[in-house]
Amino acid sequence: MKKGERRTVLLKAPAKVNVILRVLDRLPNGYHRLWSIMQTIDLMDAIRISVDEEAQGISLHCKDPSVPKNQENLVYRAADLILRKAGRTIGLDIELTKQIPMGAGLGGGSSDAAATIAGVVYVLGLKWSVPEMARLGAQLGSDVPFFFFGPTALVQGCGEDVRSISLVGEQWIVLIFPGFPIETKWAYERLAASRGERLPLLSDHLVKLGTEQPLSWNALLPWVKNDFEQPLFAAFPCLKQIQEELLCAGALKALVSGSGATVFGVFPDETTAKQAKQALEGQSGRLVFAVKTCPPGERAIHPCSARTKQGTLQTG
């Protein structure tokens, strides 16, 4: 990039749901080992990143007043991490447009961070590999690496062990965010208190899901489970009620995503999903979405367009 030239990249950052989430043993560092199958969905934040070689520092903008614009935001921290690692002192202007609710168990902040890493690496021309970017993302949060390997992946350990899964077909999902966030640390504390020292077991069949051969949604759905549900339902009975509402509305399966508070249902088709959305929305504080899963073969995070003063570049 020539001196004084501005270059802009626009990225979409998808939400995720945990189709399976098993929480294993607690490590000496206080974190837990996980076993999760994650899936990206067509509920997206948008991030526009502009670089100016003649400026310095990071300027983060978002129209949502509840979104922090400093080091408290993973977008800001991701951009700062890249600049420090690359040894660059240029200016970055970042505009974040939020659609994914915060504190909802949908990975919005982690996806935003992954998109920021990919975008800043792109506009700086750093040529870093996907594994390199994922390892950097792991420094920001356990869900960040997944978004470089989606749309579907098996996530293990503390989030650093990610393997793409071949999940055939698309599925309609209805999400219900009850209007309040759940703090992840609190959810883990409740989980530990509710299960004592007993650890969940994983079958040999489950470990092989999608990693050795293509997997269908019909084969996956019987295994859906979230270890957080028992303590969350005890503390927030409204989440159990939402799960029952989704099932009554035609969901094949319904469960909490992540550590909450969103509950989602997997529906057989678009018509049933949109009818369920219409029937279940309207209650005070609720946000209800009917979306598709992101299609197989589509990377979760990638620059979708880049603009320089010479013209527009399309990237995969």
Average pLDDT over residues 220-238: 93
Q: Which of 109, 135, 165 is the last residue of a domain?
A: 165
DSSP 6-70: EEEEEEEEEEEEEEEEEEEEEPTTS-EEEEEEEEEEEEEEEEEEEEETT--EEEEE-S-TTS--S
Domain match, 15 and 159 both: yes
Amino acid at position 103, single letter:
G
Task: Evaluate if residue 286 carries a pLDDT over 50.
Answer: yes
Q: Evaluate whether residue 271 is within a structural domain.
A: yes
Mean pLDDT in the chain?
87
Domain match, 156 and 187 both: no
Q: Evaluate whether residue 314 is within a structural domain.
A: no
Domain match, 118 and 177 both: no
Q: Is 134 helix (H, G, I), strand (E, B) or coil?
A: helix
**pTM listed for this prediction:** 0.90
Q: Evaluate whether residue 305 is within a structural domain.
A: no
Q: Where are the alpha helices (DSSP H) in the chain?
A: 74-86, 108-124, 130-138, 184-195, 204-207, 217-220, 229-235, 237-248, 270-280
Domain match, 125 and 259 both: no
pLDDT tens-digit profile of 138-155? 999 999 999 999 899 999
Confidence (pLDDT) at 6: 67
Confidence (pLDDT) at 198: 46
Task: Evaluate if residue 193 carries a pLDDT over 90.
Answer: no
- Give me the domain span that covers residue 50: 6-165
Which of 21-25, 120-124, 252-256 bottoms out in mean pLDDT, i.e. has the lowest? 21-25
Query: Which two structure tokens, joined as six digits, stand for 84?
Result: 């420090």
Query: Which two structure tokens, joined as six digits, stand for 166?
Result: 């071949």
Q: How many domains does the chain have?
A: 2
Confirm whether 64 is a catalytic residue: no
Domain match, 159 and 179 both: no
Which of 95-99, 155-159, 192-196 bottoms out in mean pLDDT, i.e. has the lowest? 192-196
Q: How far apart are CA 180 and CA 66, in angstroms?
A: 13
Domain match, 215 and 161 both: no
Q: How far apart are CA 21 and CA 23, in angstroms?
A: 7
Q: Evaluate whether residue 315 is within a structural domain.
A: no
User: Which of 42, 45, 112, 143 is labelled catalytic?
Assistant: 143
Domain match, 34 and 178 both: no
Average pLDDT over residues 307-315: 34
Domain match, 133 and 183 both: no
Q: Evaluate whether residue 303 is within a structural domain.
A: no
Q: Which of 120, 148, 165 is the last residue of a domain?
A: 165
Domain match, 29 and 135 both: yes
Query: Residue 234's domain is classified under what CATH number?
Result: 3.30.70.890
Domain match, 196 and 247 both: yes
Confirm whether 204 is a catalytic residue: no
Domain match, 198 and 136 both: no
Confidence (pLDDT) at 299: 65
Confidence (pLDDT) at 308: 41
Q: Which of 140, 165, 190 is the last residue of a domain?
A: 165
Q: Evaluate whether residue 185 is within a structural domain.
A: yes
Chain-centre distance for alpha carbon 253: 20
Task: Evaluate if residue 206 carries a pLDDT over 60.
Answer: no
What does the DSSP 8-state code read for residue 223?
Answer: G
Query: Which two structure tokens, joined as six digits, stand for 297?
Result: 């073969």
- Residue in this structure with the two tokens 């965010």, named with its chain if needed: 177
Domain match, 87 and 137 both: yes
Query: Which two structure tokens, joined as six digits, stand for 276?
Result: 């369920």
219 band by pLDDT with thresholds 50, 70 and 90: confident
Which residue has better confidence, 103 or 278?
Answer: 278
What does the CA dihedral 62, 64, 67, 73 come to, rounded to 10 degrees? -20
Q: Evaluate whether residue 306 is within a structural domain.
A: no
Q: How far apart are CA 143 and CA 146, in angstroms?
A: 6
Question: Which runs of E-coded beta strand occur in 64-142?
Answer: 91-97
Q: Evaluate whether residue 218 is within a structural domain.
A: yes
Inter-residue contact 263 to 247 (CB < 8 Å): no
Query: Residue 116's domain is classified under what CATH number?
Result: 3.30.230.10
